Every structure is written in C-alpha cells, then in structure tokens.
C-alpha cells in the first residue's frame, strides 16, 4: 500500500470504521456515497472522549446531510493526492444569537408596524427530564439553557424567559425553545404579558425609555413605544414596568409614573413624584393602589397612591440600600433589600414599611432572591430555601431546604405557575455547571 492509499484508508476508517484493507479510489467514493442514502445509513459506534459540542456519532460534527458533499469531495481529494497536494477542509457550526441593541427614544409617536418573527434557536436537548437537587418538591430539569435570573413569566399555557441576548418562548411540556427574538434587558425585571402581547423594557437611560411589544405566540415585534422621562431615570431601577388589572401599563419614568394604553401605545396620564426618581412600581390586584419605590444608597421610600385620583395616600421609609423588585398582593407589598448574603425578601402589610418583616434572609454566590406572585401564592427562591407564602398575611405556608452539590449552592428562582397548577422555576447548579428550566410539584398547601 503506497502513501496515498494509506491516507485514504485512514480517512475511510474514521468515517465508516472497519478492519483495514487495501483501498482504491473507487472504494472511497462508493463508501462515502453510500452514507448519503438514508436507507443504507448505519450509525457508527460513538467514540470516547467527545464533549457535548460534538455529535457523538464517531466524527465531530457528523451529519447525514454532509455525506453527498463528502462523496463528491472524495474525488477531488483523490485527485489532489495523486498530484501530491493534500487539502483538508473542516466545518464548525453553532447557533449564535445576536444581542438586542437599545433603541434611542425620540418624540416620534409609537410605532405598531409588525415585523417578521425570528427563527427559534436550537434548544439544548431537553430529552428525558433530569432529577435535580435530590428531587426536592419533585424537581426535574426539562431544559438546559442558561436563562437570566428572575426573568421567567407565564400566562395561560405560555412561558417566557430572557436568555443571553434573546427573549424566548418556551414549550411548557418539553422545555423546548419554540420562538426567540433578540433582546438584552437594560434593567432587572420580568417581561409583562397583557392579552396577546409580551412587553419588555428595551431601553432605559438618561431621560428616555423605550418599550417593545411582541406577539405572544410568534414573538414578532408589534410595537415600539418611546416614553420621555421627566428628569433622569433611577440608577437603582429594579422592576420598572408593571401591569394593572385595568389592562394598562405602569412605567417608572424619572420623577413620574407613566400610565400607558397598550392597545395604542398612547400616554394616558402621568403620576408625579416629589424629590426623587421612581425605581420600582407595582399595582394592587384590585386596582385601588399604585405603589412606587424610590431607592437611594442608604434608604428606601415606599409611596402609595390612590389610583383613581392620582393623589398620594401614604409614605413610609426603610433604612438600607439595594431595595426594589416590588410585588403587590391583597395583603400589602413585597420587595427585596440588600445584596448578596445580606439580601432579604420583606413584606409590608398594607404597604406600610413601619410594619414590615423579613420573610427570607440571604442568598449569596452572585444570586438573587426575588418574590413572584403566581397561582395564588407568593414564591421566594434562592440558594438556601424555596418557600411559598400567603399573599394576605405574608406567612410562609410551606418550604423546603435547597441542598448543595458538594458544598456548592444550587439555586431555584422566578417560580411561575401555569393553568392547571403546573409549576416551573429557573434552576442553577454551579458545581455541575448545569442550568435551565425545572418543573416542581409543591405541597398542596401552597
């Protein structure tokens, strides 16, 4: 066997392993061409040592669709070797999602020109659900994509979350990403779903804010709404967009809260604040009160407004910085304070900070613990405990410890309950470098 034939035999053995033998040009072309026939395809035995970035079919990146091209290319390779020329061609493909770019706001009216939906990215193989965290509350991982903390939100039978540079719609049954569109959150906060539209804060800086609306099914952009802020927006913004039971959007816009009609994008009115910019907003579930947070480096002020009149009804303060992520329930207001191991979730009955008490304490490891209201309960995750609480009283109904993985924290957050009681959360295991969407089966008392 000469040098050229030995090289061809080696290449053929890598593509379709079998005992070595003398190889001719016709053999190579014939064997490669046979790989293109689905009826005659035999999956090679996986080779050891390949990471997740490979196909696991015995050759990195192997795909049946390549076989016809390789069969044709073999003739060129043979011709090249006969002339003393060796050519090596490699192909490496991966999905890349371009991050969204903040749009600059202007005084132009809201634009409602629909755009074509984005093609969904390939979701990492969900496969068979993976039991995680020792199976606490029946925890199983159904998606292994890395999502932005606290970005999971549900509506009806739909789930949404932000990932690196994208807003994703997730199939609750399989965990697959079924639609995706470019998006990079400029401030912490969950998307807001109103009717058939998903709203996000697209740009938030200086004296301007831009909201984008996306079709709830296709994630095609259907609206872009610029809102001028009165004064500069807060540098401590966390949760600046909320929906009210009246079907309107409430946006922290500098020293005002802008009230918007989502159907038209028109500004309905402004609620003006005194001495500071709004850093967070939430609306009582009965639509009677608007709560506005104003955060500074060392204190937090919570304002309560009569929503019908727009008149301030109450004001209270809390010492300490890092306060935000407001959520209103029938019994009062929930929020976060502090950072890292000092971060805590608190509840203020009736929206009065003079009566607040802590519901959870400490997260750490660069993680957050943000309350969510879903399925008739308030959910608080983190790296130590996962709890559900009574929205009327703030008292914990049930809780479970979150185990560690070889002394390194595991994390659950952004708990969301869909119709029928199906419960989901974002999950992260730093030791195993594992993250994604998990399903839970909480106790009935939640």
pLDDT tens readout for residues 283-311: 999 999 999 999 988 889 999 999 999 99
pLDDT score of 36: 39
Query: Which residues share a beta bridge with 205?
Result: 208
For residue 339, what is the domain's CATH number?
Answer: 2.130.10.10
Note whether residue 124 is domain-resident.
Answer: no
Domain check: are 253 and 147 in the same one? yes
pLDDT at 15 over 50: no
Do residues 143 and 237 share a domain? yes
Average pLDDT over residues 186-192: 94
Query: What is the pLDDT averaged over residues 212-227?
Result: 98
Residue 227 lies in a domain: yes
For residue 96, is it within any domain?
no
- Same domain for 49 and 145: no
Q: Could you list the residue range(s) of the whole structural domain that residue 67 is in?
A: 3-82
291 and 152 within one domain: yes
- Mean pLDDT throughout 18-35? 40
Q: How confident is the model at residue 382 (pLDDT cuts 50, 70, 90)?
A: confident
Q: Give the separation between CA 111 and CA 73, rounded to whole angstroms.
A: 51
One domain for residues 58 and 147: no
DSSP for 161-175, written as a single string: EEETTEEEEE-TTT-
pLDDT of the residue at 360: 83
Q: DSSP of 315-381, one letter per residue?
A: EEEEESS--EEEEEETTEEEEEESSGGG-EEEEEETT-GGG-EEEEE---TT-----EEETTEEEE-
pLDDT number for residue 69: 35
Task: Return the pLDDT at 207.
Answer: 86
- 214 and 185 in contact (C-beta within 8 Å)? no
Query: What is the pLDDT at residue 14?
Result: 44
> Would you say residue 166 lies in a domain?
yes
pLDDT digits (tens, 9 = 90+) for 221-256: 999 999 999 999 999 999 999 999 999 999 999 999
Cβ neighbours around 397 below 10 Å, total: 17
Which band of pLDDT confidence, cut at 50, 70 and 90, is reported for residue 364? low
Which pLDDT score is estimated for 62?
A: 30
Clarify whether residues 265 and 373 are in a common domain. Answer: yes
Residues 97-123: tens digit of each pLDDT: 333 333 333 333 444 444 445 445 444
Burial of 256 (0-12, 13-18, 19+ CB in 10 A): buried
**Confidence band of 366 (pLDDT split at 50, 70, 90):** low
Which phi-psi region, left, alpha or beta, contains residue 156 (left: φ > 0; alpha: ψ -120 to 50)? left
Residues 73 and 149 in one domain: no
pTM, full prediction: 0.73
Instruction: Tell me the two tokens of residue 392.
Output: 């009327």
pLDDT given at position 127:
61
Distance CA(350)–CA(332), nearest Å, equals 4
Q: Is residue 289 part of a domain?
A: yes
| pLDDT tens-place string over residues 405-432 | 999 889 999 999 998 899 999 999 989 9
Same domain? For 272 and 375 the reply is yes
Residue that terminates a domain, selected from 55, 82, 109: 82
CB-based burial label for 226 (10 Å; 0-12, 13-18, 19+): buried
Shared domain for 61 and 137, answered yes or no, is no
Same domain, 329 and 399: yes
Q: How many domains does the chain have?
A: 2
Evaluate whether residue 379 is within a structural domain. Answer: yes
Last residue of a domain, one of 82, 112, 143: 82
Q: Is residue 377 part of a domain?
A: yes
Could you report the per-residue pLDDT of 320-350, keeping only the tens digit for each?
A: 777 788 999 999 999 988 766 667 899 999 9
Contacts for 272-275: CB closer than 8 Å, 24+ residues apart: 272/230, 273/303
- On whether residue 306 sits in a domain, the answer given is yes
| Same-domain check for residues 135 and 76 | no
Q: What is the pLDDT of residue 169?
A: 98
Q: Are 338 and 329 in contact (CB under 8 A)?
A: no
Q: How far apart are CA 379 and CA 384, in angstroms?
A: 14
Are 71 and 169 found together in one domain?
A: no
Of 60, 82, 104, the last residue of a domain is 82
158-167, 169-178, 244-253, 314-323: least confidently modelled range: 314-323
Judged against a pLDDT cut of 90, whether residue 442 lies above it is answered with yes
Residue 171 neighbours by CB under 8 Å, 6+ apart: 159, 177, 178
């Amino acid at each position: 066997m000469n040098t050229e034939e030995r090289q061809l035999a080696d290449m053929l053995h890598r593509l379709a392993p079998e005992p070595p033998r003398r190889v001719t040009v016709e053999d190579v072309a014939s064997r490669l061409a046979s790989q293109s026939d689905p009826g005659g395809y035999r999956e090679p035995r996986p080779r050891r040592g390949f990471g997740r970035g490979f196909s696991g079919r015995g050759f990195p990146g192997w795909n049946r669709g390549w076989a016809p091209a390789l069969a044709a290319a073999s003739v060129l390779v043979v011709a090249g070797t006969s002339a003393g020329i060796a050519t090596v061609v490699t192909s490496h493909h991966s999905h890349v999602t371009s991050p969204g770019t903040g749009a600059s706001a202007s005084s132009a009216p809201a634009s409602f020109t629909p755009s074509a939906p984005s093609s969904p990215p390939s979701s990492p193989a969900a496969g068979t659900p993976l039991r995680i965290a020792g199976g606490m509350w029946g925890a199983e991982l159904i998606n292994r994509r890395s999502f932005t903390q606290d970005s999971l939100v549900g509506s009806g039978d739909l789930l949404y979350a932000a990932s690196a540079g994208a807003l994703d719609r997730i199939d609750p049954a399989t965990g697959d990403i079924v639609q995706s569109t470019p998006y990079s959150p400029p401030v912490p906060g969950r998307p807001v779903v109103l009717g058939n539209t998903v709203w996000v804060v697209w740009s938030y800086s200086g004296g301007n804010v831009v909201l984008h609306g996306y079709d709830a099914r296709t994630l095609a952009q259907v609206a872009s709404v610029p809102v001028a802020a009165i004064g500069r927006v807060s540098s401590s913004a966390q949760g600046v967009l909320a929906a009210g039971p009246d079907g309107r959007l409430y946006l922290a816009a500098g020293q005002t809260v802008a009230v918007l009609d989502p159907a038209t994008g028109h500004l309905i009115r402004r609620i003006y604040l005194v001495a500071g910019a709004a850093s967070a907003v939430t609306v009582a579930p009965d639509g009677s009160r608007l709560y506005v947070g104003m955060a500074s480096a060392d204190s937090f002020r919570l304002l309560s407004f009569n929503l019908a009149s727009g008149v301030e009804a109450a004001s209270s303060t809390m010492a300490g910085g890092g306060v935000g992520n407001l959520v209103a329930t029938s019994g009062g207001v929930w929020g976060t304070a502090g950072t890292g191991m000092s971060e805590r979730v608190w509840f203020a009955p009736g929206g009065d900070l003079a009566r607040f008490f802590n519901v959870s304490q400490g997260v750490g490891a660069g993680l957050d613990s943000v309350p969510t209201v879903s399925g008739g309960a308030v959910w608080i995750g983190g790296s130590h405990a996962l709890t559900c609480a009574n929205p009327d009283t703030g008292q914990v109904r049930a809780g479970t410890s979150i185990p560690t993985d070889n002394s390194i924290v595991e994390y659950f957050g952004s708990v969301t309950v869909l119709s029928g009681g199906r419960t989901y959360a974002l999950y992260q295991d730093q030791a195993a470098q594992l993250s994604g969407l998990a399903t839970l089966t909480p106790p009935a008392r939640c």
